[in-house]
Amino acid sequence: MRIIGGRMRGLGLASVGKGDVAAHLRPTSDRVRESLFSILEGGRFGDPVDGAQVLDLFAGTGALGFEALSRGADHVSFVENGRVALKLLADNIAKARVEAEVAVHRKDATRIGACSTKPATLVFLDPPYGKSLGDKALVSAAAQGWIAKDALIVWEEASEQSPPPQFSLVETKRYGETWLTFLSFMRD
């Protein structure tokens, strides 16, 4: 696994091999990340990455957040509570030398608690597939002030996802067994 574009292009990230089933680690493939960032930087959504405040829920190794930082995001808040993932995330932060540009929140993404940073303008949501945790995490993050009005949410799952209340569906894309569902947050 490596950073595909931007200032950290080519940086190798800590590997989990084929994933860690017990820890629910299933890193986003390079192919899906490359396609995702081509969409994000292709003008369809303006330029949601440059200058973004990013929230990476169920961060795992942090690959999506690191890719966003590499491509111009200002800050990434990683939310993760898995022991194995937290170790890999710490290793990747050290490798990338981005300690001042990130915060790691050792929390359950479905019960995130009050926001202590700027609200996110770009959210990556990559919950364990098929466990119905994505809705809970988005609703919790929105209620606690983590997500800015009109923020773009990119939800990776094994199937197309329906938006929870206060979110609207923008579009979906399928890459093999991976679905990317793009949402917008319509804060009251």
3-state secondary structure of 66: helix
In a domain, 158, yes or no: yes
169, part of any domain: yes
CATH code, domain carrying 55: 3.40.50.150
**In-domain check, residue 147:** yes
- What pLDDT is stored for residue 188 in this prediction? 60
- Give ∠ CA 70-5-88 in degrees, rounded to 5: 60
- For position 138, what pLDDT does the model report? 97
Question: Which residues of the chain are under the pLDDT cut of 70?
Answer: 17-27, 188
Cβ-count burial 43-57 (b if 16+ within 10 Å, e if not): eebeebbeebbbbbb
Number of domains the chain is built from: 1
Q: What is the pLDDT of residue 19?
A: 47
DSSP letter (8 states) at residue 81: -
pLDDT at 22: 53
Asked whether residue 13 is assigned to any structural domain, the reply reads no
102 lies in which domain range? 30-185
101, 132 contact by CB (below 8 A): no
Measured between alpha carbons, how far is residue 93 from residues 10, 11, 149 in Å? Answer: 15, 11, 28
- 159-183 pLDDT, tens digit per residue, is 999 999 999 999 999 999 899 999 9
Q: What pLDDT shows up at residue 18?
A: 47
- The SS3 call for residue 117 is coil
In a domain, 22, yes or no: no
Q: Is residue 93 part of a domain?
A: yes
Mean pLDDT score of the chain: 91
Token pair belonging to 128: 């364990």
